[in-house]
Structure 1
Amino acid sequence: MITRFTDIINGLKGFDQKFTNGELVSKMLRSLSEDWNSLRMLIENIKDVNTYPLEELYGTLMTYELNNAEIKEKTRRSKEEMKEPPKSQIALKSTNDERSFNTNMSDEELDDLVLLVKKWRGIQNNR
């Protein structure tokens, strides 16, 4: 926006149009959208627009834009976190009933089963 504004002003200066610093600052402030109303009103009420340097206005606008972008990003992230569904957990019932335990498993099969359960738990913890 600043580059576009500068290009327009320089083009008008090429046609012998003269602007005071106060006119340029006023034109820049008027060209801001409604999102910038709070900053515009603050500058107009606190600063003397006729003596406020245009370069300082550019710096103020850029700083405001960066701070506003950070605030919007934090707000967006917090809204996303609030929408995130709770992670589901599975509970398995444990029994020591000898009838439910298969004694026909070999040690290798039991080791494979333990390894499989450990891998499954690792996958569940990474989600």
Structure 2
Amino acid sequence: MKQDEPIVYMITRFTDIINGLKGFDQKFTNGKLVSKMLRSLSEDWNSLRMLIENTKNVNTYPLEKLYRSLMMYELNNVETKEKTRRSKEEMKEPPKRQIALKSTNDEGSSTQT
């Protein structure tokens, strides 16, 4: 997987490669395809990869379900990154200055001594 590449592009590329290999009579089990897809993910996906490998049977986990999980993870991750970026930008903004106004005496009274 390329850095900062949307998961949809990676899934499309993966599917194109697999379909091309099937054209040469290569046979792949579902488990093998899921394993290859998980291995091809970048380090940003380590938490999801470990979760799937440790909680699901990779040999019986449907490839389509993996695709959905990856897309949902990316969607949630993008929203989280955007919120983090916004909060960092807000922290960088200098505090707004308040203007103190001089008080004036509108009565116009003057004291003579």
Please give the range of the TM-score, normalised by the shorter of the 2 chains. 0.7 to 0.9
Match of 1:8 among 13, 17, 26: 17
CA positional deviation for 1:59: 0.2
Q: State the number of aligned residues.
A: 99
**1:67 pairs with 2:95:** no
Q: From 25, 47, 57, give the equivalent of 2:66.
A: 57
SS at match of 2:69: helix
TM-score, normalised to structure 2, is 0.82
- Partners of 1:82 and 1:73 lie apart in 2 by 14
- Coordinate RMSD, CA, aligned: 1.4
> What corresponds to 2:6 in structure 1?
none
Question: Residue deviations 1:1-23, cap 9 Å, x none?
Answer: 10000000000001111100000
Alignment of 1:27-38 (within 5 A): 27-38=36-47
SS in 2 for 1:67: helix
Q: Scaled by the length of structure 1, what TM-score is found?
A: 0.74
Partner of 1:85: 94
| Structure 1 equivalent of residue 7 of structure 2 | none
Query: Structure 2 unaligned runs (5+)?
Result: 1-9
Flag the structure with larger Rg: 1
Which aligned segments of 4 or more residues in structure 1 are displaced greater than 4 angstroms? Answer: none
CA distance in 2 between partners of 1:60 and 1:7 (Å): 20
AA in 2 matched with 1:48: N
What is the SS of the residue equivalent to 1:95? coil
Structure 2 residue aligned with 1:95: 104
The whole-number CA distance in structure 2 between the counterparts of 1:8 and 1:74 is: 35
